[in-house]
Amino acid sequence: MNLLIFFQLAVRNLRLNKFRSILAILGITIGIIAIATTGMSGAILENSQFQSMNEIGESIYLQVNYTYLWNQYDESSNYYGVAGGAMVATSVAGDSGVYIQPKMEGITNKQIRELSKITAPYPVIPYKSTMSSFEIVEDEYSDKERPPKNPNDIWSSYVTIYGIENEYLPSMFVLESGKFPKLRSEVLIGSKFAKKNEVTVGDELIFSVYKGGQQRNVKVKICGIVKNTGEGLVISSDNSVIGSDSWFKSNFETYSMLTKGYESAVVVIKDVNVAPEMQVKIDEYLNEKGSRVDITNSSSATQPVKDIIAASSKEMMSMGAIALLVAAVGIFNVMLMSVTQRTHEIGILRSIGTKKRQVLLMFLCEAGIMSILGSLIGGVLSLVFALFKARDMIAESAITLNPNAAIMQQMGLSVDQVQVSLADVLSYTFSANVLMYIPLGILIGITVGLLSALYPAWRAANMDPIDALNEQ
């Protein structure tokens, strides 16, 4: 008997037990959807949060710890007794008279130079950040229409702005298009910001800034678009504009108690293996006499996202395992019933010279058809389910990691207004680490189906031909 005959017999028998066969196929389909969807949605979320972080490397973030410095304040001397962070007393006129406002040094240029020796060959990069409203300069000769802004989304007209020296930008961000800025009037924007506002390289933005108590407009030109780094990082390019440090200082006024120095700095390390040791050395230098500077890294900053992935994966994998178990029992039952109903037929086949392995193969072929059909359907549907599941997971991570999203939720605005759309999800979907779960799920489904049919097929193959012929 050739394989074509086995296949024809298998299809005939599945049609004779149509209802049971459909239930078994459905069980396999549900199991594959649950398992493949879990893997793909988790991979999509990882792509959305860590896409460029994986290309850049590990980042160590330094942030002045104001709470600690305030606790060290000595009112009698108006001085903060912390190594490298001296406090000075400043007289400020208030409504009730003159009061003393102590100020302090942040991470100074001298400290940055010394730290750069410790972290060599990776520099310590100071930066500043703020938020500002913006407008897009429309080309009067262009007929391009911008997407209308949602009046309920108070953040749609605001963007995070970073001031970083141009020489450090290539080590911190990955270009998607365009070039890194060389002029003060040139800026980078995040990929998500570009898609959301339908802007590209060459377009211009206007910021409304207050400096010295007066409002004025600052115009810049977009020279490059960088890949998203993810909301979980301290420096996130997702909905951001990045300009030079000198441009930032000359145009944006940020509230700070520092008399000089920086509140924040970052070290981007290509070799992730040396990052833990380097973080310890930085901490020993800056915090020798107290926790003056908070030190974190990109791995710990993104841990909440990893927790979301782990929790969701555990839940979905459990559901998938249960569904596959039910499917395995279903196929086992279908095959066992098929063997019982076809005992006389098996006797005839054995009596005309059909070998045991051929009978075994015939029944495994029947189980294989059900497994392949269920797995293929489940693999295709899992891609669709993964898009919606990943959309919800990205929205959940945005609430966890993005303070703007948390504020919006407190105001009663929906999570969908955190700019999580299926278009965003699609951009992270078609990559090898996502799509690999489709063939993997199909392989699991076929394997489970064939293993479930092994005993019924073995039982059929080992029937005594004479006893089988006497069975009615």
pLDDT in 10s for each residue of the chain, 472 residues: 566 777 787 788 778 778 888 888 888 888 888 888 878 877 777 776 665 455 556 788 888 887 776 666 554 444 443 333 333 444 444 444 444 445 567 788 888 888 888 888 888 888 888 888 888 887 665 556 666 665 555 556 788 889 998 888 888 888 889 999 988 889 999 888 888 888 889 899 988 887 666 778 889 999 999 987 765 556 777 778 999 988 888 887 665 666 677 888 888 887 767 888 888 888 888 887 777 888 887 766 566 666 766 776 677 677 777 877 887 888 888 888 888 888 888 888 888 888 888 888 888 888 888 899 999 999 889 888 887 777 776 666 555 555 444 444 444 544 444 455 666 677 677 778 788 888 988 998 899 888 988 998 898 888 888 887 877 6
Inter-residue contact 205 to 135 (CB < 8 Å): yes
* Cα 394 to Cα 45: distance, rounded to the nearest angstrom: 6
How far is residue 145 from each of residues 141, 190, 362, 424, measured CA to CA in Å? 12, 21, 63, 20
Pairing label, strands 97-105, 175-178: unpaired
* Cα 147 to Cα 27: distance, rounded to the nearest angstrom: 44
Residue 305: helix, strand or coil by DSSP? helix
What type of residue is 424? D
Single pTM value for the model:
0.58
* Cα 11 to Cα 9: distance, rounded to the nearest angstrom: 6
Q: Following DSSP, what letter does each residue of 160-182 receive, concatenated?
A: EEEE--GGGHHHH--EEEE----
Q: Which alpha helices (H) appear in 342-355, and where do they start and end?
A: 343-351
Q: What's the pLDDT score for residue 255?
A: 57
Which two three-digit tokens encode residue 291? 């926790």
* Cα 367 to Cα 452: distance, rounded to the nearest angstrom: 8
Which two three-digit tokens encode residue 411? 């105001």
Q: Following DSSP, what letter does each residue of 436-459 receive, concatenated?
A: THHHHHHHHHHHHHHHHHHHHHHH
Neighbours of 47 (CB within 10 A): 21
